[in-house]
Structure 1
């Protein structure tokens, strides 16, 4: 099927023979493009047909292909719009009471996943109040030491599980089983129906069902309706999944977080730094947008969800502004160190103890938590590097873009995360070599901050050794901070000066980073 589609695209036309042979091509002509086409709904397998069986004679389920209508100038609302169209079309064709939402780069890894989810949705004591069951996002291509910190072991096992204990599990956009009525805008318990009551007794033919469904997938159908507001996934936010889960919970429903020992679903994690940061920028921007909107958990969720759940949501909604204190800590202390300016108490002072306690306790707890969740020490160290890189680049750009959009200076966009990579990129990923290879602004920031800390550490040591050795006690905290930044950025220095493969830092990035770092260090002397 994939080959036939690619051949048709390459030729730019579809022969009459191909049209007659494959029903799906009948909808396409030379005027149809990816962003300008009519609604397409085709029932590929009719589950009501007793002849629709697999090679072992088992009845096949209904299988439907849908492409919603897209027209220039008509907003299609990205993933949320596609999901809402699917909800409406499926209500006509099958009206299944449970909907599984799965991203296209994920696959089912456990045949019992549906049965296990139904144990929550059909539970005798609580089934009537559970809106959705969320599985953690897990991946099958994580390298040995999790180079880009994509496994989210602590997040999955501690943070999301903790929020789930407040009956407010986050809807993560994939690997989630929904109760149809809750996703369609029903309020609990006002509009509640038993899950067994939702049956589809439609006896219309396949052609009649397809014709009726196409109307539901058209651009004009949602006009003057509650879709995207009170029904379906919420529009206008890059993190449509998180805000939709919040609105469902604020309508009285509860949600469950379920992490089985065997992953129910597995996906593909980003294998290059650029892709990983683009994904993080979209997430951080979308979640901060929720915090600044009417859907802020402390306002929209007040009196509707527990305070602990509100705090849990904000742990993620405030990713973007977290970039500001992080940037301060990786810029100001090294600059002051380079000029002998002390920012922290002397090592001999009693006031040094609180700083030392916080630093040691936080990192000791972080290491213990990571090891208990399955991380290795090296993967924990990779996580620390990625936290700094994410906060100083992706989160910062997400913060700026969100503020600009709140001021009405730009519109919400949806950056699709590409997962396809070349063979040499995959080989470097398996060898745990960070992938750069482009002149991205984010890479320039990463390299500049790495060089700034290196220059400041060297300059600080030279001043202490040759000019004022007694200043060591005053500057110890800054030396430790800069030293750790230098250690954590070792792969950056390798990409700048040592590596010669295609994944190394381009010369333009090296030149700009050294110039900017040198300028920052010399600025007070100008």
Structure 2
């Protein structure tokens, strides 16, 4: 902030199109606009701020630590050029939509009573390319409209990696101390470097984003963004709050502060969720808020973090409910209480009550009924695929069979994919283990649903007796088959390039049939 802006390769690992960086590259700090000398002006004659383009040095024998490493390099370079007290972090696929956002954030930082406690001001992550009914549930409507507001009651929201204003000293590892309150009005930035030319500054800063600069230092551990986690933003925010700082969540009521680009294919959405759930569960295992923040942050904030850090193991419950009742129905096993039994009431209340509550909550937050249905579908898809793979990756990592990885989400799509996205047709078009799991579960529940109907209308057992025994299981299979309707179309009906690949279709059919035959015999 102040009079300096930085530009960087997205995530620190490639160019603006997501192409990977070469195995060996040099550090390039380039001052494009030297705003310190006020030579560059805009169309209205106002001086432009300093604009710096930066690429980090990369060598195969050094780990560049992805986005966290790139962000830390920007912190080092900016501290030498301006050392401004506030840093704005915006991802490569986001842009400022409200010129008042800077003033809004500074109002929190400069508050006379509580401003000195604030480490960062987090704005919501909003996407401007969503379809009318948000087919991939990328808006995170409940998270941004309900959950993050609730964080404010316990010390502030988690850091979500973009659209965030940071206090430099808190991001650089300083512990909060009431005695170190600073009067920002007395800070004079850039006074030390006004005499140095842009060329001289580039030469001085060239060593800062080099591979060896942070060796044997606390950067990536106690200072800056933390390394070793796929969601470096969440663990960095937690570390700042455990050092005594607080945060603020601000959602402008009139105009959104920042806008970005959401996933336009199902695979992009699932891969993104897999990375988040993998990294979040990694934090839970290595830096459990219940232990890491014990007697430091409030219990409410610890539990709020756990709400997201436990996304991955949630797959176990979801997989149980989408598979075990169906397989028991195939074997003629009544899993739930009979419909005539009073003990069925808690099951019905919990299941349908949860759906009713989530629908009312969604409508209250400005969504539509179809958008809510899409969010329920994506919740099912995420929990049974993304969270499952994220959970398995953590278990394999604990056992020493794999290492941490960072998977980029593609941002460039072709014209045909964009047209199908605008028509709200789910995009498959490629082979992925995620799609195989989805298709297998969808086919399994469709087959079992027809078996359940056969038990009601074809077999000799009276309909009332069969309905009494298997009513809830048939209803559950029917709802799962209904919510998977957009998946059956690319499996069997669609002919466009976005349909399910033939190999994935055959593979899913075989897996579903083998599972059914195994359960029956």
Q: TM-score, normalised by structure 1?
A: 0.92
Are the aligned partners of 2:339 and 2:468 in contact in 1 as well (CA < 8 Å)?
A: yes
Structure 1 counterpart of 2:188:
199
State which of 210, 213, 219 in structure 2 corresponds to 1:227: 219
Query: The residue matched to 1:177 in structure 2 has which SS?
Result: strand
Per the alignment, do residues 198 and 286 of structure 1 end up closer, same or farther by CA in structure 2, a change over 3 Å counting? farther
**Inter-partner Cα distance in structure 2 for 1:523 and 1:225:** 57
How many residue pairs were aligned?
Answer: 494
Are the aligned partners of 1:339 and 1:460 in contact in 2 as well (CA < 8 Å)?
A: no
**Inter-partner Cα distance in structure 2 for 1:318 and 1:103:** 25
**Inter-partner Cα distance in structure 2 for 1:112 and 1:238:** 32
Q: Does 1:105 align with 2:112?
A: no
Q: Does 1:242 align with 2:225?
A: no
Q: How does 1:41-80 map to 2 (within 5 A)?
A: 41-80=29-68
Are the aligned partners of 1:130 and 1:253 in contact in 2 as well (CA < 8 Å)?
A: yes
Structure 1 counterpart of 2:336:
344
Per the alignment, do residues 65 and 162 of structure 1 end up closer, same or farther by CA in structure 2, a change over 3 Å counting? same
Q: How does 1:261-340 map to 2 (within 5 A)?
A: 261=253, 262-293=255-286, 295-340=287-332
Are the aligned partners of 2:327 and 2:519 in contact in 1 as well (CA < 8 Å)?
A: no
Q: How does 1:7-18 map to 2 (within 5 A)?
A: none
State which of 84, 87, 96 in structure 1 corresponds to 2:84: 96
Alignment RMSD (CA, Å): 1.3
Structure 2 counterpart of 1:40:
28
**Inter-partner Cα distance in structure 1 for 2:479 and 2:187:** 58
Are the aligned partners of 1:188 and 1:252 in contact in 2 as well (CA < 8 Å)?
A: yes
Q: Offset of 1:198 from its aligned partner? A: 4.3
Q: How does 1:406-425 map to 2 (within 5 A)?
A: 406-425=398-417
For 1:416-444, what per-residue CA distance to the aligned partner results, in whole angstroms no more than 9, with x for missing partners? 11111111111111111000011111111
**Inter-partner Cα distance in structure 1 for 2:203 and 2:214:** 17
202-211 or 99-108, larger mean C-alpha shift: 202-211
State which of 121, 145, 153 in structure 2 corresponds to 1:165: 153
State which of 463, 466, 472 in structure 1 corresponds to 2:467: 472
Are the aligned partners of 2:331 and 2:520 in contact in 1 as well (CA < 8 Å)?
A: no
Structure 1 counterpart of 2:6:
none
Q: Offset of 1:94 from its aligned partner? A: 1.0
Q: Offset of 1:192 from its aligned partner? A: 4.7
Q: TM-score, normalised by structure 2?
A: 0.93
Query: The residue matched to 1:104 in structure 2 has which SS?
Result: coil
Are the aligned partners of 1:168 and 1:305 in contact in 2 as well (CA < 8 Å)?
A: no
Gaps of 5+ in 1: 1-32
Structure 2 counterpart of 1:498:
493
Structure 2 counterpart of 1:507:
502
**Inter-partner Cα distance in structure 1 for 2:90 and 2:380:** 30
